[in-house]
Amino acid sequence: MKKIIHLVMAARPNVMKVAPLYHALKKESWAEPCIVHTGQHYTDNMSGAFLRDLDLPEPQYSLGVGSGTHATQTGNTMMAYEALCLGHRPDLAVVVGDVNATLACALAAKKLGIPVAHMEAGLRSFDRAMPEEINRLATDSICDYLWTPSPDATAQLEREGISGGVTEVGNIMIDAYCLAEDQIKAAGTREDFRLEAGQYAIATFHRPVNVDIIDHLHHICDILADIARDIKIVLPLHPRTRKQLVLNGLMAPLQKNPAVIVCDALPYVPFMNLVLGARLVMTDSGGIQEETTYLGIPCLTLRTTTERPITISQGTNRLVHFGTLADEARRVLVMPSPKRPVIKGWDGRAASRTVRHIAQILGAAPDQVRKREAA
Ligand code: UD1
């Protein structure tokens, strides 16, 4: 009997964390990976296109939860995932990242006595005003297996007194990049936008603290217009950001600026094609801080904290606020490009380390090991 492993995804950044694991598990004769999509993100450019870019099939189970307040989304996801598990009980549930569904599915599975693993455990921003921080803390405190992306995350769990069940598997986001690297390099997105490598910046902002507080959104628009005097900026818009810009009359001035290219949120491959050629990335995302570090591209993060401090201590990331973003951007533009840092476990092999660990947990011998032993 194959071991059934649920891989839960909900929102855009989850797809990159599930894909490498799905593909690695698919190669194992003992494993049956099943993608469970909760439906937190549902429009094609936030979900379906990401699955296609990372060569994933349609999810085996779609829970159709959709948008809502935090409690609505978390509660509805718990109920839907509990119902699924009661009918199709997995041997292991894997949750990834820090979105509402991460916590919801971990809670639902754990209370049914299903072993639960958290991919990307141990990250902390220490800012409990962020819903993601609550999701991270609560998920790590109940999961049986905690897979950390880097030594700082492992050390954080130790500081919290958690040592059992912790395995440092490495950064799965880098596996996703490695899987799609050829496609990313071959994508003609830069040409489609008429951009030359090294001659443009990218900006992405979607955190409620930046785009739902209207004064803050005004600041961002003013700062981007200022920076655009020195370099072209591509601005892919998360649906939340688009809505607020339109509602507050800020979209038209951005679109009129010839140095600002406004577009909808982009799927993974075209977005990473743009990142690869960018001189600078400005963001409030989590994953982009890691992708830019891996690629050696300067990143300015418009947040007061980061749950990924290794991107600052060893990478190309720097935290900025409204008062420093424009100056920091200008500083980056006159500096030589940084070197690509080498970080332990950011090597494209996190999924294979994780599969070895899953095989141990579930009492299966990974196929590679079996083949070596038979030889
Ligand atoms: C969620 C995650 C955040 C992650 C982000 C990536 C939580 C608490 N937040 O935030 O950590 O960085 O995803 O994008 O889980 N919408 C659409 N189409 C979609 C999805 C959403 O139009 O496919 C719109 C809806 O109006 C929705 C809003 O975007 O209300 C926000 O979506 P939601 O999933 O609630 O949160 P995100 O801001 O995307």
Print pLDDT tens along the chain (375 aa): 999 999 999 999 999 999 999 999 999 999 999 999 999 999 999 999 999 999 999 999 999 999 999 999 999 999 999 999 999 999 999 999 999 999 999 999 999 999 999 999 999 999 999 999 999 999 999 999 999 999 999 999 999 999 899 999 999 999 999 999 999 999 999 999 999 999 999 999 999 999 999 999 999 999 999 999 999 999 999 999 999 999 999 999 999 999 999 999 999 999 999 999 999 999 999 999 999 999 999 999 999 999 999 999 999 999 999 999 999 999 999 999 899 999 999 999 999 999 999 999 999 977 765 665 565
Would you tell me how many other CB atoms lie within 10 Å of the CB of residue 110? Answer: 16
- In 3-state terms, what secondary structure has residue 111? helix
**Residue in 12, 41, 95 to alter for ligand 1 test, most ligand atoms within 8 A of Cβ:** 41
- Residue 95: closest CA among 104, 84, 82, 85: 104
Q: Is the CB of 11 under 6 A from ligand 1?
A: yes
In the block, tokens 């990834």 appear at 96
- Residue 123: closest CA among 356, 13, 286: 286
Say if residue 194 is exposed, middle or buried (CB neighbours under 10 Å; 0-12, 13-18, 19+): exposed
**Residue in 16, 44, 206, 285 to alter for ligand 1 test, most ligand atoms within 8 A of Cβ:** 206
Range 286-303 burial, b when 16+ CB lie within 10 A, else e:
bbbbbbbbbbebbbbbbb
Q: Is the CB of 277 under 6 A from ligand 1?
A: no
Residue 258 φ then ψ, to 5° = -65, -15
* Distance separating alpha carbons of residues 222 and 214, to the nearest angstrom: 12
CA-derived radius of gyration, the chain: 20
Q: Is the CB of 12 under 6 A from ligand 1?
A: yes
Q: What is the pTM of this model?
A: 0.95
Tokens at 7, concatenated: 């891989």
Give the single-character DSSP code of 161: T
